[in-house]
Amino acid sequence: MKKDTADTLSLEWILHTKNFRLTLDKARCAGCQICSLACPKGAIKTEKQPKVQGQKARKAKVDIDLEKCNFCGICDVSCPYGAIKLTLNGKHALSVLDKESFPEIIRDIKIDTRQCPKDCVECEDACPLSLIKISRLGYDGKPVEDLMSLTPNQRKRVQVNIDIQKEYCPTCRVCEFKCAPGVMKVRKCIEGKISINQGKCPEKCSDCLDVCPITGALYLSDKDNKIYVNELFCDYCGACKVVCPVEEALTLKRTKIHHTPVRSGAWNKTLEKLTSPVDVVKELKARGSQKAKEAVCRRFVLEEKIR
Protein backbone atom coordinates (compact mmCIF):
# COMPACT_ATOMS: atom_id res chain seq x y z
CA MET A 1 0.00 0.00 0.00
CA LYS A 2 1.27 3.45 -0.93
CA LYS A 3 -0.06 6.75 0.36
CA ASP A 4 1.08 10.18 -0.81
CA THR A 5 -0.02 13.28 1.10
CA ALA A 6 1.18 16.87 1.28
CA ASP A 7 3.36 16.07 4.30
CA THR A 8 4.47 12.47 3.86
CA LEU A 9 4.97 9.64 1.42
CA SER A 10 4.44 6.26 3.03
CA LEU A 11 4.78 2.70 1.80
CA GLU A 12 3.50 -0.32 3.71
CA TRP A 13 4.26 -4.00 3.30
CA ILE A 14 2.29 -6.43 5.47
CA LEU A 15 3.42 -10.03 5.93
CA HIS A 16 2.01 -12.66 8.32
CA THR A 17 3.50 -11.24 11.52
CA LYS A 18 5.50 -8.33 10.15
CA ASN A 19 4.36 -4.87 9.17
CA PHE A 20 7.01 -2.85 7.33
CA ARG A 21 6.42 0.87 6.84
CA LEU A 22 8.69 3.29 5.01
CA THR A 23 7.90 6.96 5.58
CA LEU A 24 9.35 10.01 3.86
CA ASP A 25 8.95 13.29 5.76
CA LYS A 26 8.63 15.84 2.96
CA ALA A 27 9.41 18.76 5.26
CA ARG A 28 12.76 17.27 6.23
CA CYS A 29 13.59 16.01 2.74
CA ALA A 30 16.01 18.29 0.87
CA GLY A 31 15.52 16.63 -2.51
CA CYS A 32 19.23 15.87 -2.53
CA GLN A 33 19.23 12.59 -4.51
CA ILE A 34 21.41 10.70 -2.01
CA CYS A 35 18.68 8.17 -1.23
CA SER A 36 18.07 7.47 -4.92
CA LEU A 37 21.79 6.93 -5.49
CA ALA A 38 22.05 4.63 -2.48
CA CYS A 39 18.98 2.50 -3.24
CA PRO A 40 20.22 -0.89 -4.52
CA LYS A 41 16.92 -1.65 -6.24
CA GLY A 42 16.50 1.64 -8.09
CA ALA A 43 13.19 2.10 -6.32
CA ILE A 44 13.71 5.78 -5.51
CA LYS A 45 13.53 8.52 -8.09
CA THR A 46 14.32 12.21 -7.66
CA GLU A 47 12.45 14.43 -10.08
CA LYS A 48 13.17 18.07 -10.76
CA GLN A 49 10.05 20.19 -10.36
CA PRO A 50 8.97 22.66 -13.07
CA LYS A 51 9.59 26.25 -12.09
CA VAL A 52 6.71 28.70 -12.06
CA GLN A 53 7.62 32.05 -13.57
CA GLY A 54 8.06 34.70 -10.90
CA GLN A 55 8.41 32.15 -8.08
CA LYS A 56 11.39 30.52 -6.42
CA ALA A 57 12.62 27.14 -7.57
CA ARG A 58 11.24 24.14 -5.68
CA LYS A 59 13.32 21.31 -4.31
CA ALA A 60 13.26 18.05 -6.24
CA LYS A 61 10.43 15.62 -5.57
CA VAL A 62 11.25 12.15 -4.25
CA ASP A 63 9.09 9.20 -5.27
CA ILE A 64 9.39 5.53 -4.26
CA ASP A 65 8.22 2.61 -6.37
CA LEU A 66 6.34 0.14 -4.15
CA GLU A 67 6.90 -2.68 -6.66
CA LYS A 68 10.69 -2.30 -6.51
CA CYS A 69 11.19 -1.43 -2.83
CA ASN A 70 12.22 -4.35 -0.61
CA PHE A 71 12.17 -2.29 2.63
CA CYS A 72 15.88 -2.86 3.28
CA GLY A 73 16.30 0.51 5.03
CA ILE A 74 19.43 1.62 3.14
CA CYS A 75 17.68 4.90 2.25
CA ASP A 76 17.00 5.44 5.95
CA VAL A 77 20.65 4.89 6.85
CA SER A 78 21.98 7.03 4.00
CA CYS A 79 19.79 10.13 4.37
CA PRO A 80 21.86 12.94 5.95
CA TYR A 81 18.67 14.70 7.05
CA GLY A 82 16.92 11.70 8.61
CA ALA A 83 13.96 12.32 6.32
CA ILE A 84 13.25 8.63 5.66
CA LYS A 85 12.33 6.17 8.40
CA LEU A 86 11.77 2.43 8.23
CA THR A 87 9.72 0.78 10.95
CA LEU A 88 8.93 -2.86 11.67
CA ASN A 89 5.74 -3.39 13.66
CA GLY A 90 5.84 0.26 14.67
CA LYS A 91 9.46 0.30 15.85
CA HIS A 92 12.42 1.88 14.10
CA ALA A 93 14.33 -1.16 12.83
CA LEU A 94 17.30 -1.39 10.48
CA SER A 95 18.40 -4.95 9.78
CA VAL A 96 21.21 -3.72 7.50
CA LEU A 97 22.83 -2.19 10.58
CA ASP A 98 22.08 -5.11 12.87
CA LYS A 99 23.64 -7.54 10.39
CA GLU A 100 26.57 -5.13 9.81
CA SER A 101 25.95 -5.31 6.06
CA PHE A 102 25.75 -1.53 5.83
CA PRO A 103 27.42 1.22 7.88
CA GLU A 104 25.88 4.02 9.88
CA ILE A 105 26.77 7.62 9.06
CA ILE A 106 28.77 9.15 11.90
CA ARG A 107 27.49 12.51 13.11
CA ASP A 108 30.43 13.59 15.25
CA ILE A 109 29.22 16.51 17.38
CA LYS A 110 31.00 17.43 20.61
CA ILE A 111 29.63 19.99 23.05
CA ASP A 112 31.36 21.62 26.01
CA THR A 113 28.65 23.57 27.81
CA ARG A 114 31.21 24.80 30.37
CA GLN A 115 32.37 27.26 27.71
CA CYS A 116 28.83 28.37 26.88
CA PRO A 117 27.79 31.85 28.06
CA LYS A 118 24.80 31.60 30.39
CA ASP A 119 22.61 33.90 28.31
CA CYS A 120 23.70 32.80 24.81
CA VAL A 121 21.24 31.30 22.31
CA GLU A 122 23.36 31.80 19.17
CA CYS A 123 23.48 28.15 18.12
CA GLU A 124 19.75 27.66 18.63
CA ASP A 125 18.94 30.72 16.53
CA ALA A 126 21.53 29.90 13.87
CA CYS A 127 20.62 26.26 13.19
CA PRO A 128 19.06 26.30 9.68
CA LEU A 129 16.96 23.22 10.47
CA SER A 130 15.88 24.23 14.01
CA LEU A 131 17.44 21.12 15.55
CA ILE A 132 18.99 22.78 18.62
CA LYS A 133 17.24 23.53 21.88
CA ILE A 134 18.91 25.32 24.78
CA SER A 135 17.68 24.92 28.35
CA ARG A 136 19.03 26.05 31.70
CA LEU A 137 18.88 24.57 35.17
CA GLY A 138 19.34 26.58 38.33
CA TYR A 139 21.33 25.66 41.42
CA ASP A 140 18.20 23.94 42.75
CA GLY A 141 17.82 21.76 39.62
CA LYS A 142 14.75 23.64 38.40
CA PRO A 143 14.42 25.14 34.90
CA VAL A 144 15.46 28.78 34.61
CA GLU A 145 13.30 30.94 32.35
CA ASP A 146 14.62 34.38 33.29
CA LEU A 147 18.32 34.77 34.10
CA MET A 148 17.87 38.38 35.15
CA SER A 149 15.61 37.29 38.00
CA LEU A 150 18.58 35.52 39.62
CA THR A 151 21.30 37.01 41.75
CA PRO A 152 24.85 37.21 40.27
CA ASN A 153 25.91 34.26 42.42
CA GLN A 154 22.91 32.20 41.35
CA ARG A 155 23.62 32.95 37.67
CA LYS A 156 27.13 31.59 38.04
CA ARG A 157 25.70 28.28 39.20
CA VAL A 158 23.26 27.94 36.29
CA GLN A 159 23.88 24.87 34.13
CA VAL A 160 23.38 25.21 30.37
CA ASN A 161 22.12 22.21 28.39
CA ILE A 162 22.31 22.02 24.60
CA ASP A 163 20.11 19.37 23.05
CA ILE A 164 20.68 18.51 19.37
CA GLN A 165 18.46 16.18 17.35
CA LYS A 166 21.47 14.40 15.88
CA GLU A 167 19.50 11.92 13.78
CA TYR A 168 18.33 14.82 11.59
CA CYS A 169 21.59 16.80 11.60
CA PRO A 170 23.61 16.96 8.34
CA THR A 171 26.58 18.42 10.28
CA CYS A 172 26.78 21.67 8.32
CA ARG A 173 28.82 23.31 11.14
CA VAL A 174 26.81 26.53 11.20
CA CYS A 175 26.31 26.14 14.97
CA GLU A 176 30.05 25.66 15.56
CA PHE A 177 30.96 28.94 13.90
CA LYS A 178 28.09 30.87 15.47
CA CYS A 179 28.81 29.61 19.00
CA ALA A 180 31.33 30.99 21.43
CA PRO A 181 34.82 29.50 20.90
CA GLY A 182 35.22 26.02 22.34
CA VAL A 183 31.53 25.24 22.83
CA MET A 184 30.88 23.21 19.67
CA LYS A 185 33.09 20.93 17.61
CA VAL A 186 31.43 19.39 14.55
CA ARG A 187 33.00 17.10 11.96
CA LYS A 188 31.17 16.90 8.67
CA CYS A 189 29.81 13.43 7.98
CA ILE A 190 30.26 14.04 4.24
CA GLU A 191 33.32 15.74 2.78
CA GLY A 192 33.60 17.04 -0.73
CA LYS A 193 34.16 19.88 -3.14
CA ILE A 194 31.68 22.22 -4.79
CA SER A 195 32.15 25.10 -7.18
CA ILE A 196 29.99 27.41 -9.28
CA ASN A 197 31.07 28.68 -12.67
CA GLN A 198 29.39 32.08 -12.71
CA GLY A 199 30.16 32.42 -16.43
CA LYS A 200 27.88 29.45 -17.14
CA CYS A 201 25.06 30.54 -14.83
CA PRO A 202 21.93 31.84 -16.57
CA GLU A 203 21.29 35.51 -15.94
CA LYS A 204 19.36 36.21 -12.74
CA CYS A 205 19.16 32.48 -11.95
CA SER A 206 19.07 31.58 -8.25
CA ASP A 207 17.61 28.07 -8.40
CA CYS A 208 20.46 26.53 -6.37
CA LEU A 209 20.14 29.18 -3.66
CA ASP A 210 16.35 28.73 -3.57
CA VAL A 211 16.56 25.03 -2.65
CA CYS A 212 19.72 24.97 -0.50
CA PRO A 213 18.64 23.75 2.97
CA ILE A 214 21.64 25.25 4.77
CA THR A 215 21.58 29.00 5.37
CA GLY A 216 24.90 30.50 4.32
CA ALA A 217 26.21 27.57 2.27
CA LEU A 218 25.25 29.49 -0.87
CA TYR A 219 24.90 33.26 -0.99
CA LEU A 220 24.10 36.03 -3.43
CA SER A 221 26.93 38.52 -3.91
CA ASP A 222 26.04 42.21 -3.75
CA LYS A 223 28.91 43.02 -6.11
CA ASP A 224 27.88 41.09 -9.22
CA ASN A 225 24.51 39.58 -8.24
CA LYS A 226 25.91 36.05 -8.70
CA ILE A 227 25.70 32.97 -6.49
CA TYR A 228 28.82 31.89 -4.59
CA VAL A 229 29.68 28.97 -2.29
CA ASN A 230 30.77 29.01 1.33
CA GLU A 231 32.21 25.52 1.79
CA LEU A 232 32.49 25.99 5.54
CA PHE A 233 28.75 25.32 5.77
CA CYS A 234 28.07 23.15 2.70
CA ASP A 235 27.11 19.56 3.58
CA TYR A 236 27.50 18.35 -0.03
CA CYS A 237 23.99 16.96 -0.16
CA GLY A 238 23.58 17.90 -3.83
CA ALA A 239 20.12 19.49 -3.66
CA CYS A 240 21.52 22.44 -5.61
CA LYS A 241 23.01 20.22 -8.30
CA VAL A 242 19.68 18.51 -8.94
CA VAL A 243 17.87 21.75 -9.78
CA CYS A 244 20.68 23.56 -11.62
CA PRO A 245 19.45 24.22 -15.19
CA VAL A 246 22.95 24.17 -16.73
CA GLU A 247 25.08 21.03 -16.33
CA GLU A 248 28.43 22.84 -16.40
CA ALA A 249 27.42 25.69 -14.09
CA LEU A 250 27.67 23.77 -10.83
CA THR A 251 30.02 20.90 -10.01
CA LEU A 252 29.79 18.83 -6.86
CA LYS A 253 31.91 15.91 -5.77
CA ARG A 254 31.67 13.95 -2.54
CA THR A 255 35.08 12.64 -1.57
CA LYS A 256 34.54 10.94 1.79
CA ILE A 257 31.74 9.71 4.02
CA HIS A 258 32.48 9.13 7.69
CA HIS A 259 30.81 5.91 8.79
CA THR A 260 31.02 2.99 11.17
CA PRO A 261 33.20 -0.03 10.18
CA VAL A 262 31.76 -2.33 7.51
CA ARG A 263 32.97 -5.16 5.29
CA SER A 264 30.07 -5.34 2.88
CA GLY A 265 30.43 -5.24 -0.87
CA ALA A 266 27.01 -3.57 -1.00
CA TRP A 267 28.47 -0.54 0.75
CA ASN A 268 31.36 -0.38 -1.72
CA LYS A 269 28.86 -0.16 -4.59
CA THR A 270 26.87 2.54 -2.80
CA LEU A 271 30.01 4.50 -1.96
CA GLU A 272 31.03 4.42 -5.60
CA LYS A 273 27.69 5.96 -6.61
CA LEU A 274 27.86 8.63 -3.92
CA THR A 275 31.53 9.49 -4.46
CA SER A 276 33.64 7.89 -7.21
CA PRO A 277 35.61 4.70 -7.99
CA VAL A 278 38.81 6.51 -6.99
CA ASP A 279 37.43 7.35 -3.55
CA VAL A 280 36.29 3.74 -3.08
CA VAL A 281 39.84 2.57 -3.75
CA LYS A 282 41.16 5.10 -1.23
CA GLU A 283 38.79 3.78 1.42
CA LEU A 284 39.65 0.15 0.68
CA LYS A 285 43.36 0.93 0.97
CA ALA A 286 42.82 2.77 4.24
CA ARG A 287 40.74 -0.15 5.52
CA GLY A 288 43.48 -2.60 4.53
CA SER A 289 46.14 -0.52 6.26
CA GLN A 290 44.05 -0.40 9.42
CA LYS A 291 43.63 -4.19 9.40
CA ALA A 292 47.38 -4.65 8.94
CA LYS A 293 48.04 -2.30 11.84
CA GLU A 294 45.62 -4.19 14.07
CA ALA A 295 47.25 -7.51 13.10
CA VAL A 296 50.70 -6.19 14.04
CA CYS A 297 49.37 -4.90 17.36
CA ARG A 298 47.79 -8.28 18.16
CA ARG A 299 51.02 -10.07 17.31
CA PHE A 300 53.03 -7.67 19.48
CA VAL A 301 50.68 -8.22 22.44
CA LEU A 302 50.88 -12.01 21.96
CA GLU A 303 54.69 -11.93 21.90
CA GLU A 304 54.75 -9.85 25.06
CA LYS A 305 52.53 -12.40 26.80
CA ILE A 306 54.82 -15.27 25.71
CA ARG A 307 57.86 -13.49 27.11
Fold of 108-187: Alpha-Beta Plaits (3.30.70)
| Banded pLDDT at 121 (limits 50, 70, 90) | very high
How many CB atoms within 10 Å of residue 216?
17
Domain ranges of the chain: 2-98, 108-187, 190-259
293, pLDDT greater than 90:
no
| Alpha-helix residue ranges (DSSP H) falling in the chain | 34-38, 74-78, 95-98, 122-126, 152-156, 174-178, 207-211, 239-243, 265-274, 277-306
279, pLDDT greater than 90:
no
User: Which numeric CATH code is attached to 2-98?
Assistant: 3.30.70
List all residues 6 or more positions away from 8 whose beta carbon is below 8 Å from its beta carbon.
Answer: 23, 24, 25, 26
115, pLDDT greater than 60:
yes
b/e sequence 82-101, b meaning 16+ C-beta within 10 Å = bbbbbbbeeeebbebbeeeb
Considering the chain, what is the average pLDDT of its residues? 91
- What radius of gyration do the chain's Cα atoms show? 23
- SS3 state of residue 253: strand
79, pLDDT greater than 90:
yes
- How does pLDDT run across 1-14, given as a tens digit for each residue? 999 999 999 999 99
Q: pLDDT at position 92, please?
A: 95
Q: d(Cα 5, Cα 7) in Å, to the nearest integer?
A: 5
Looking at per-residue pLDDT, the higher value among 305 and 3 belongs to 3
Q: pLDDT at position 296, please?
A: 47
Looking at per-residue pLDDT, the higher value among 281 and 161 belongs to 161
Fold agreement between 2-98 and 190-259:
yes
- How does pLDDT run across 189-244, given as a tens digit for each residue? 999 999 999 999 998 899 999 999 999 999 999 988 999 999 999 999 999 999 99
What phi and psi, each to the nearest 5 degrees, are found at residue 41?
A: -100, -5
- How does pLDDT run across 20-71, given as a tens digit for each residue? 999 999 999 999 999 999 999 999 999 999 988 889 999 999 999 999 999 9
The correct answer on CATH 3.30.70.20 for the domain covering 190-259 is yes
